Structure 1
Amino acid sequence: MRAVLRAARRYWAVTLTLVIGGIGGVLALAGAGAAVQYLFSAYALAIALWQAVVMVRRLLRREFGLDVLAIMAIVATVVVGEFVAALVVVLMLMGGEALEDFANRRAKHELDALLARAPHSAHVQRGDRFEEVPVDEVAIGEVLLIRPAEVVPVDGTLLAAHASVDESSLTGESVPVEKVRGELLLSGSVNGPEAVELRATATAAASQYQQIVALVSEAAASRAPVVRLADRFAVPFTAFSLALAGVAWAVSADPARFAEVLVLATPCPLLIAAPVAFVGGMSRAARGGLIVKGGSVLEQLAAARTAVFDKTGTLTHGAPEITEVRTASGADADELLTVVASAEQYSSHVLAASLIRSATARGLTLREAEDAREVATDGVEATLDGRAVVLGKFAFVAAHAPDAVRTRIAPGELAIYAAVDGRYAGAILARDTVRANARRTLERLAALGVRRTLMLTGDARETAEHVAAEVGIAEVRAECLPADKVSTVRGIAERPVIMVGDGVNDAPVLASAEVGVAMGAKGATAASESADVVVLVDDIGRVADAVEIGRRTVAVALQSIWVGIAVSIGLMVVASFGVIPATLGALLQEVVDLITILAALRALGPRRERTGSADAELGERALDRRG
């Protein structure tokens, strides 16, 4: 009962129209037929005047819509004495708006659920007790208490021995994840049955879930070009409807024909179908761990002809394992690894985590650098114990150490070169493994119409070609700088282009493609902010899912538009011969509206089961400046 009352209040215009109809029914039973005509006609004309004011305001903003058809249908039915039909048209108009609102609410369910779950407060340790404070006031380094079943408010490292958390709102995976002391807890995940403490590593604004909320809000506020294109159909559709109604009147010499045709000139296929379908597609994408920043992105995904991939952290796992330490003459392997890992402590690159992990596994003690800076796409410069350390790409190191020599690497390996005090110190070799479902993803993209695929990477050509051969990519551009990637993407003729990347250096090229896709499973980066689609799950297969959702959404939107228009035109033609009375026509128009909305809601679709390897495990984020 509460739901009914809530709906009655929300859609008050529909409720009022039904009340007017009920009053009219009572008056008719009482024998006051004239009063019914005056009541229905006056109410219908009042609604027509209200809608006319709204229409004029839109016209002043240069927004032409189909309101004129509904207004003219109301006026025409009142003039010819079809007052019952006039009330039905009003119910159609108000009901159409209510159905559109309901359909949009239904379609945005998953998006709204993400927004509603955003944490607003946190329990922060202040002195010897925990105080509840607004989440925006949490500072990095503060200790927070996360109660059972509570949403983690900010990103932080776990202080308790272990914890079980639900990350389904972030990853789409429903199985609880077990965490141990020192591991990262992402904001938006839900704590398990035991209270735990964590130390904040990011502010609320910089945390994972708040970034997702911002992306969702941006996506929900967008409007697709196909919707604007649908608006443009308003002029020819209105002209056709008025012309057909005028011809029917002129031929029959019966003004009622004019009204009978207009009541069937339904605007819903144009006004409702496309927005509902695109919101539904975005909602379906959110269910699958994809944040799509607008309906226009779904259109571009549907039409995509080329896909370009970064390598590290995208086609590969982005967590290389150190395989060998090769030193220059007289150098010690452990010392070289210690120096390199110590310098990499100040780097966000994926290789930094691998080097530090390898040094720790060998029992080496890392040192604190006197100063360090990361040179984007090239490497790191640091001062350790008064010595100048340079590490990264060969060309970068060779510029500081002329005696540097390239080391031989096997297919699939990569090398991190190092120099100390201007002399070449050696190279550390690492190997990154290809994602198990990378090849299957490319096959799915080809089946969906993406005929050309390329790999762009900053890695050495040998490594890049080895990975490309494993996944089935024929075109490779290796040893690329960010500017090289941008120029390559801009020069591709087969468009639209999808660019899939994962690192800070991918942000420019993601922005230059029609659709930038960021593998953002472990937090928002410059790549995520520049991308049009953010993959919240560490699974390359979701890229093919995004294309599939885009194709289905566009197909559903256009099918709904044209089916609705075709049915409306067919009924109008029949009505022009005087076969359909105005009241029946208005009722049929409601049926057309409902059919159109239900057809558009198909974009929500059943969640398709993906084939191939899931490959959805969550690893360390790869902030790839070199590949």
Structure 2
Amino acid sequence: MQVSVKHSLPGRLRLLYDKNEYTSKQALLAQTLITVQEGILDTNCNTNIGSFLIYYDTHIVKENDVLNLFHALTGKYLEDPELLKNVDQIPETESIESVLIETLAIHYLKKWFLPLPVRTLLLWKSLLERCFHVLSKFAESKRLFSTELLDATAITVATLTGNKNTASQINLLLNIGEEIEEITKRNSYGNLAQSLLSADEPVQVVEGMDEKTVPASALKKDDVVVIRQSGLIPADGQILDGEGMVNQSSITGESIPIAKKAGDSVFAGTVLEEGEIYIKVVQTGKETKVQKIIDMIDNSQSLKAAAQQRSELIAEKVVPFNFLVTAATWFFTRNIVKTMATLMVDYSCAMKLSAPIAVLSAMKESATKGITVKGGKYLEEAALSKIVVLDKTGTLTYANPVLEKIYAMEGFTEDEVLTIAACLEEHYPHPLGRAVVRAASEKNLVHPENHTKVEYIVAHGIASTLNGKKVRIGSAHFIFEDEKIPCPESLAEIKKQSSLEGYSLLYLSHDGILVGVIAIGDPARPGTSEVIRELKNLGLEECIMITGDTEGAASKIAAECGIKKWISQALPEDKVKFIEDEKAKGHKVIMMGDGINDAPALSAATVGVAVEGCCSIAGETADIQLQKSGLDNLVTVRRLGMGLLEKINENNLTIVGVNSALMLLGIFGVISPQMAAILHNGTTVAISIRSMQPILK
């Protein structure tokens, strides 16, 4: 692919390509293929101007390397039907300037080159089309008064009174206004869709003895995919071969990985913490990805915010007022020019346009911040809700274990227990092992390699020999049942205390006796208590945690997060019942979670919010989905919703004020009907453009 450098900075490169040579689909395919290359941080493609904006890691690749990546994209890739079929087409945006020039050019060409009778026929044709449109609107809504009726009346009056030039100019201005309004709205849809489409992570598909890298969206049912340590599982499937530890906290709420082997099912969005597995794809989202985005945008219009619905209702109700003012103007002045000037101004046009654009703009702004909103009403409900219900694992915590306590026995010190454990665990870094090694590193404990070969038994533990003595570390089953290590009496109290605090335990034996127990926990995300306080500052009255974990684990996390009320050992139906009880009291409730066990509650809540890395069911069920980690994204959602309501209300006040002033100017003959149309359409477009501005600074 031939590209040229438009602008270059270290780590940032803007490239141009010839739009006549490459289709938009080929450009988007190039974006996907470049994004997955090592050292490329992000790639954005603008198919309107034919450019790529590349962000890259200067420690890994240089500018010439980036250029060579594009040059390597020959027709073999860019003309491959299978690859092109899997490209998500971003809707093209339109230029207001080009449409404006085209409309004016057609109007004046007709005026200069067509004889007057023909121009008169075309004017009547346009007027009849507007009249038929009024009738169709009446048949559809059963409402006589509409903005379309106002427009048709103004042109009819001008034509019948012999002011054909005025009628023609009014018609031109109305056409321009309608074109600009339609383009503004279409571009708002297109921009939202573009914000939601992103490059796919690469996956390894197995074909015979070979592997090939493809985008996740290219996966098909029955494909075989290999997932290696720390890999994200891209689709729901069944393990054909291999075994490993899968972190599926997004499904079960458990922060500790689960052992998986051939025949077991795995789910999209979960992570293979260790091992290697080959899975057969059962379900993918590829076939419906683009359609879901389009459906979501379309459905967002049926999920209008109440403020938007109020604006549209007000817009419909004020039209009769326009006719009343027009009739009064004619009655008192008998001046047709002043009467037509009042017909040129209405409140409903701007209200009907600015409110949905404000909602679409807020949804687009949400998308740029990693927040997918499935309808404007959910932003509003998030702003008005008084209660937020929070899941624990993966929502308030990272589901990333850390070492909490060490119980040393048989003359061993805590540091000695931690040193031996880290010496073994560093060879096979599963999540609990990583917590042990990290804790030893933080204490600057040196663990020399005095042991013999280390044997790792997946989902059980580690066996080795240290200075001629057998050492074992692992689960209770491995230590006490498989290895037959005696269980000391003091262990019962340790287990009881750890259960109360929600800790998982690793057991270390040395020369046939238990010498240490290591307690692993899943602490709250840093800064969570500050976020909880900020949510309360924004008007949320209660923050409640509901979890399936033990009372000990729940109370510990609640204390760390500054949460005063929590419910532990809750089943999915318990979460739903709590939410439905609160809604029955008249409260709006936000539910935030990430797993299959949270899906019923997400559905029952006024607003369901799914966090990053959620399972597919939770993501589908939720009304809002966060693509970036951190509870502070909920604060962003709240602020966006509040800002959206404020923007719509401000727009309505501006529309009433400006258009009332224009009506008065028309009544007193200060402005002509043409000027009234220009100022009215101009302010409508200006308010619409203001509606598209970001809410958050």
Moved more, 89-98 or 471-480: 89-98
1:433 alignment counterpart: 523
Q: Is the 8 A contact 1:518 1:534 kept in 2?
A: yes
Q: Is the 8 A contact 2:389 2:590 kept in 1?
A: yes
CA distance in 2, matches of 1:586, 1:92: 7
- Partner residue of 1:594? 685
Q: Which moved more, 1:129-138 or 1:429-438?
A: 129-138
Task: Indicate yes or no: 2:577 matched with 1:487.
Answer: yes
Partner secondary structure for residue 523 of structure 2:
coil
Shift of the alpha carbon at 1:41? 4.9
| Counterpart-to-counterpart distance in 2, 1:63 and 1:230 | 19
2:602 alignment counterpart: 510
Structure 2 match to 1:309: 390
CA offset at residue 457 of structure 1?
1.5
Alignment partner, residue 217 of structure 1? 294
Task: Tell me the alpha carbon deviations over residues 187-213 of structure 1, each in whole angstroms, 9 at most, x when there is no partner.
Answer: 9xxxxxxxxxx9985759636x88875
1:252 alignment counterpart = 333
Contact 2:405–2:518, Cα closer than 8 Å, also in 1: yes
SS at match of 2:457: coil
| Contact 1:309 1:499 (8 Å CA) reproduced | yes
Counterpart of 1:273 in 2: which secondary structure?
Answer: helix
Q: How does 1:157-172 map to 2 (within 5 A)?
A: none
User: What does residue 545 of structure 2 align with?
Assistant: 455
Which residue identity is paired with 2:224?
G
Of 525-534 and 97-106, deviating more is: 97-106
* Cα offsets for 1:113-153 (capped at 9, x unmatched): 25665679999664577899992536442479xxxxxxx99
Structure 2: how far apart are the matches of 1:591 and 1:304?
37
> Contact between 1:143 and 1:199, CA under 8 Å: does it hold in 2?
yes
Deviation at 1:102, TM superposition (A): 3.4
For residues 668 and 317 of structure 2, what CA distance do their matches in structure 1 show? 22
Could you say what secondary structure the match of 1:509 adopts?
Answer: helix
Aligned CA distance change for structure 1 residues 459 and 154 (closer, same or farther; 3 Å): closer
Determine if contact 1:216/1:293 at 8 Å carries over to the other structure. Answer: no
Counterpart contact for 1:411–1:466, Cα < 8 Å:
no
Question: 1:309 touches 1:455 (CA, 8 Å); kept in 2?
Answer: yes
**Hey, what's the Cα distance between the residues in 1 that align with 2:280 and 2:140?**
43
Asked if the contact 2:546/2:575 (under 8 Å) is kept, the reply is yes
What SS does the corresponding residue of 2:543 show, helix, strand or coil?
strand
Q: Is the 8 A contact 2:225 2:281 kept in 1?
A: no
Structure 1 position 47, deviation (Å): 2.6
1:23 aligns with 2:106: no
2:613 pairs, out of 502, 510, 522, with 522
1:290 aligns with 2:371: yes
The residue identity in structure 1 corresponding to 2:321 is F
1:206 to 2:284 alignment:
yes
Matched, 1:269 2:350: yes
Question: What is the CA–CA distance in structure 1 between the aligned matches of 2:342 and 2:185, rounded to whole Å?
Answer: 29
CA contact (8 A) 1:413 1:429 kept: no
Give the superposition deviation at 1:557.
2.3
Q: Which residues of structure 1 form unaligned runs of 5+?
A: 145-151, 158-183, 188-197, 327-352, 369-383, 390-402, 418-426, 609-627
2:224 is the counterpart of 1:141:
yes
Judged with a 3 Å threshold, the aligned counterparts in structure 2 of structure 1 residues 323 and 213 are, in CA distance, closer, same or farther, namely: farther
Q: Of 89, 92, 95, which residue of structure 1 is paired with 2:170?
A: 89
Contact 1:499–1:513 under 8 Å retained in 2 = yes
Hey, what's the Cα distance between the residues in 2 that align with 1:599 and 1:363? Answer: 65
Q: Deviations over 1:409-467 (max 9, x none)?
A: 387534689xxxxxxxxx99541111112122212212222222111112222322222
Residue segments in structure 2 that go unaligned for 5+ positions in a row: 1-18, 21-47, 50-91, 238-265, 270-275, 408-429, 439-453, 461-476, 483-491, 507-516
Query: Which residue is equivalent to 1:576?
Result: 667
Query: Is 1:544 aligned to residue 635 of structure 2?
Result: yes
For residues 75 and 85 of structure 1, the distance between their equivalents in structure 2, rounded to whole angstroms, comes to 11
Partners of 1:89 and 1:120 in 2: CA distance: 53
Residues 320-331 of structure 1 aligned to structure 2 (within 5 Å): 320-321=401-402
Structure 2 distance, partners of 1:105, 1:240, is 30
d(CA) in 2 for partners of 1:466, 1:122: 39
Shift of 1:581: 1.3
Pairwise CA distance, 1:507: 0.7
SS of the residue 2:141 aligns to: coil
Instruction: Please say if residues 595 and 614 of structure 2, whose CA atoms lie closer than 8 Å, have aligned partners that are also in contact.
Output: no
Give the counterpart letter for 1:447 in structure 2: N
Write out per-residue CA displacement over residues 502-536 of structure 1, whole angstroms, 9 at most, x where no aligned residue. 221111111111111011x2254221111111111
Distance of 1:128 and 1:578 partners within structure 2: 84
Contact 1:322 1:358 (C-alpha < 8 Å) held by counterparts: yes
- Residue number in structure 2 paired with 1:56: 135
Measure, in 2, the Cα distance between the counterparts of 1:212 and 1:289: 17
| CA 542–7 in structure 1, closer or farther in 2 if over 3 Å, else same | closer
Equivalent residue letter for 2:316: V
Q: Which has the higher contact order (CA 8 A, sep 6+)?
A: 1
The answer as to 2:648 corresponding to 1:557 is: yes
Q: CA deviation at 1:265?
A: 2.0
Q: Contact 1:268/1:596 (CA < 8 Å) preserved in 2?
A: no
Find the aligned partners of 1:51 and 1:294 in 2 and give their Cα distance: 32
Q: Aligned partners of 1:24 and 1:410: how far apart in 2?
A: 85
CA distance in 1, matches of 2:635, 2:314: 32
How far apart in 2 are the matches of 1:71 and 1:120? 54
**What amino acid is aligned across from residue 490 of structure 1 in structure 2?**
E
Whole-Å separation in 1 of the counterparts to 2:675 and 2:124: 20
> Which residue does 1:43 correspond to in 2?
122
Partner residue of 1:469 out of 555, 559, 567? 559
The match for 1:498 is 590
Structure 1 match to 2:318:
237
Counterparts in 2 of 1:156 and 1:231: CA distance versus 1, 3 Å:
closer
Listed as ranges, the matches of 1:337-376 within 5 Å are 354=431, 364-366=456-458
1:466 and 1:356 mapped to 2: Cα distance? 23
Determine the structure 1 residue equivalent to 2:80.
Answer: none
Q: Map 1:169-180 to 2 at 5 A.
A: none
Cα 1:470/1:504, change in 2 over 3 Å: same
Question: CA offset at residue 14 of structure 1?
Answer: 5.6
CA distance change for structure 1 residues 55 and 564 in 2, over 3 Å: closer, same or farther? same
Distance 1:293 1:465, change over 3 A: same
Equivalent residue, structure 2, for 1:376: none
Deviation at 1:54, TM superposition (A): 3.5
Higher mean C-alpha deviation, range 488-497 or range 108-117: 108-117
TM-score scaled to structure 2, two decimals?
0.60
Give the Cα separation in 2 of the matches to 1:156 and 1:481.
24
Distance 2:363 2:179 in 1: 21
Cross-structure match for 1:175: none
1:342 corresponds in structure 2 to none
Matched residue SS, 1:61: helix
| Alignment map for 1:388-467 (pairs within 5 Å) | 407-409=496-498, 412-414=501-503, 430-467=520-557
Given that 1:321 and 1:431 are in contact with CA atoms closer than 8 Å, whether structure 2 keeps it comes out as: yes
Contact 1:114 1:213 (8 Å CA) reproduced? no
Deviation sequence 1:329-349 (CA, Å, 0-9, x none): xxxxxxxxxxxxxxxxxxxxx
Superposed CA RMSD in Å reads 4.6
Identity %, equivalent residues:
21
Q: How far 1:107 moved relative to its partner?
A: 3.6
Q: Which range is displaced more, 111-120 or 230-239?
A: 111-120
Q: Alpha-carbon deviation of 1:486?
A: 1.3
